[in-house]
Amino acid sequence: MTTLTHAHNALYRRPPDDRMESLDDLFTRCRSDRESSEERWKRPQELTVTSDLTLAIDDNPDFTLNDWSFSQLCRLAGVSRDTVNRVSRKTASRIFGETLPSADKPIQILTSGDTIRSVHGVAYTRLWNADLLDVVQEAATDFRQPQTAAGGGTGLYCGERDMFCFLIDPTGWAEINGQAFAPGFFLYNSEVGCRSVGIQTFWFQKVCANHIVWDAVEVVDFKRKHTANVGDALSEIRRIIESLVQKRDQRRDGFVNVMRKAMTERLGNNVDETVQQLLKRGFRRKLAEAAIEIAQKQGAFTIFAVFDALTQLAQRTNYIGERTELDIQAAAILELAV
């Protein structure tokens, strides 16, 4: 089993403004970001960094660089961000004027209002967060955000650099190797090139107040860089989510069928027969008779009634070793209904 900390890390590095209260709020934010954004293609020599460290494009001299796009502009110019930050704005403007490349190939500049969200070369292909969330809303209809974390984190975040989405199915509990697990996934993307697009699906046993996912199994990872074929990631992510949903349904239905059979099929027709069945499976007579006494009060000697009785007896055991051994024996009784 694996401990997953992606949501935990997002919880503590995200400012409050990045938190979305619901999946609908996250989708609304991402759709608004897309509708307000415009891609502009300009050759590097057509850009001018003013003495106020704004970017002049065409007839607008006041495009403001945010923290991320400023870092990208520094990389494009081949200068250290730390160096630029140590000099005056006027000197920084001159540095960019002398270091920004001249090229026939244009660069793509993503703007929103008067803010520059990102600066990229021609090799970068954008995948919008809203398109990714369309897939989630269509393929993962039963999935919800987890409980609110300590400090108010929701598992749903969208900021200047990227989007992160943590969803679980609170009704999807099923049995895997005798233990209860529920399905969930992390989904992430960046419209501005800060990270790749990807999804991580898993089956988990517990999500704590710090959004650490404990005891995860069947972890599946997929990620794709923002190159020419990044759009294919949408169909692959849809397939991965649909596969998780299909497995959830199969396991949940199988678990329901097992429990239905366990509640109707008898382990024995009377006290003596039922005790003998337990003795043949290694139970001590005193324990078997105690379990049958509890099951008899429920009016039946079904597999589930006996299993439930053994579970109650295990909870009364003071020693953890004996309790664990009895839990294993009880689980073997329930397997008779498989």
Which of residues 142 and 316 earns the better pLDDT score? 142
Q: How far is CA 229 from CA 94, 125, 194, 199, 236, in A?
A: 38, 8, 18, 17, 12
Number of continuous H segments (helices) and E segments (strands) in the chain: 11, 14
Residues contacting 177, CB < 8 A, separation 6+: none
Domain-wise residue ranges, the chain: 2-32+127-254, 37-120, 265-337
Categorize the per-residue pLDDT at 175 as very low, low, confident or very high, splitting at 50, 70 and 90: low
Instruction: State in Å, rounded, how far the first CA of the chain is from the last one.
Output: 24
The percent of residues in the chain predicted with pLDDT above 90, rounded, is 41
Tens digit of pLDDT for each residue in 179-233? 678 899 999 999 999 999 999 999 988 888 899 998 888 898 999 999 989 999 9
Summarize the confidence of residues 81-110 as an average pLDDT. Answer: 88
Of the ranges 77-86, 88-97, 111-120, 325-334, which one carries the lowest mean pLDDT score? Answer: 325-334
Residues contacting 73, CB < 8 A, separation 6+: 49, 55, 65, 96, 119
Closest CA to 57 of 106, 5, 105, 126: 106
Task: Check pLDDT > 80 for residue 53.
Answer: yes
Categorize the per-residue pLDDT at 1 as very low, low, confident or very high, splitting at 50, 70 and 90: low
The percent of residues in the chain predicted with pLDDT above 70, rounded, is 92
Tens digit of pLDDT for each residue in 121-161? 888 999 999 999 999 999 998 899 999 887 888 999 999 99
What is residue 122's predicted lDDT score, i.e. its pLDDT?
Answer: 86
Cβ atoms of residues 205 and 180 within 8 Å: yes
CA dist., res. 152 & res. 19, Å (int): 9
Task: Check pLDDT > 90 for residue 335.
Answer: no
Task: Check pLDDT > 70 for residue 321.
Answer: no
Cβ atoms of residues 174 and 256 within 8 Å: no
What is residue 176's predicted lDDT score, i.e. its pLDDT?
Answer: 66
